[in-house]
Structure 1
């Protein structure tokens, strides 16, 4: 009953008209009047922001704010994998031989999520981690390792919520939502970074300009928040033992080992 009601309410609100209205408002100068309230409600740390609060002209501009260069130190260990985002760990585990992952007691097909069987094969039996970004978080995305960009592609159309309720009751949001995928080749192993769009607005921007990226270098940002899923190549990259669901992580913090 709860699942059906949740899906019904989402379908009522998740359509092009509502998405367009939200996007237009967040990009309008009127939205600037809500920035201070937004910062207060979500307890945004203004000391780490690159610019002063009163310099942002729209709510969307504030949402994709940059931080001071020293705000997110990047773990310098050559063997480390770092968090690409400020987020909470929603789930983590191992990809099954059936090419599935389990999130909130639901099975998700990564075959559908990735849409490229050749790339998929190296992640079967490997580890994954799902990182959920809330409205309070810094929404720029950084490279977890030093790597070469091997392939970028886009899948999906509509987007549904990817919070805890969305993952539990939604229509498989991490496999069906609009998403941009980034296949990264490291010196000793590959990593797949999946940027999943959130409810209402499919706005995932790519900022990486070079084929080669340094660990911690910015590769994109979410205009309206969402989730990142990382897949680590089997036997070559591993998640750290100290990680657990609902644990907060920040950009540059060590989350794994090469």
Structure 2
């Protein structure tokens, strides 16, 4: 009973008008009045912020806040892959030969997620990792590896919740939500960074310039909590043995190692 009710509720509240209203409010000057309470409710770490709370003119500016340069350390070991976001690692695993992955008991298609059959083959039998950002997390996205951008594209229209309830009761949320996908070629092989929009706010802004990204370099930002899916070409990535899901992680911390 709960599954169809949940889906109906989300469909009714996730239309263009509701998304537009929330986006307009978050970017309005009046939203600055809830910045202090939002900071308190979500226990945001003010010491690592680049600005003071009173300097954020809107709630949106708080969402996309930058951190002090020393707030995050990028692990630079040979072949190290680092977390692109502050998040909870919700799931890790193998991409099946059929292009399927299983997340929270639900089956997703990597082919549908990428929307490009020509790119699919290299990821079959590879690895995936799901990183969920709540509203409390730092919302900027950094490159998990050093590499060259081979392609970047946008898919999807609406966005449904990507928290544990969304993954459990939603319909192919990771594969049908609004998403911006960046594929990188590294010295080891290909990595796809799938930035998945969250409920209400389809806002993923790309910030990097050019085609080369250093490990830890900023790529984009979310305007609200969301999810990043990392896809690794077959045989090039080994997940860190210490990671047991769910696992809290921060930008720059090691999540695994690339191998030839």
State if a TM-score over 0.5 links the two structures. yes
Bigger mean CA deviation after superposition, 99-108 or 233-242: 233-242
Shift of 1:78: 2.3
Shift of 1:225: 2.0
Alignment of 1:1-258 (within 5 A): 1-258=1-258
Secondary structure of the residue aligned to 1:70 is: helix
What is the CA–CA distance in structure 2 between the aligned matches of 1:69 and 1:175, rounded to whole Å?
A: 34
Asked if the contact 1:30–1:58 (Cα under 8 Å) also holds between the matched residues in 2, the reply is: yes
Shift of 1:76: 1.2
Shift of 1:116: 1.4
Shift of 1:18: 1.0
CA RMSD of aligned residues (A): 0.8
Deviations 1:108-167 (Å, cap 9, x if unpaired)?
A: 111100111222111110110000000000000000011001100011111100000000
Asked if the contact 1:189–1:237 (Cα under 8 Å) also holds between the matched residues in 2, the reply is: no
TM-score normalised per structure 2:
0.98
Shift of 1:243: 1.2
What is the CA–CA distance in structure 2 between the aligned matches of 1:38 and 1:50, rounded to whole Å?
A: 17
Deviations 1:21-78 (Å, cap 9, x if unpaired)?
A: 1111101110000000000000000000011111000000011000000101000112
What is the CA–CA distance in structure 1 between the aligned matches of 2:250 and 2:13, rounded to whole Å?
A: 31
Secondary structure of the residue aligned to 1:145 is: coil
- What is the count of residue pairs matched by the alignment? 258
Q: Could you list the runs of 5+ residues in structure 2 that have no partner in the other structure?
A: none
What is the CA–CA distance in structure 1 between the aligned matches of 2:165 and 2:190, rounded to whole Å?
A: 31
Moved over 6 A (4+): none
Asked if the contact 1:232–1:238 (Cα under 8 Å) also holds between the matched residues in 2, the reply is: no
TM-score normalised per structure 1:
0.98
Shift of 1:238: 2.0
Asked if the contact 1:87–1:137 (Cα under 8 Å) also holds between the matched residues in 2, the reply is: yes
What is the CA–CA distance in structure 2 between the aligned matches of 1:132 and 1:177, rounded to whole Å?
A: 14
What is the CA–CA distance in structure 1 between the aligned matches of 2:64 and 2:208, rounded to whole Å?
A: 16
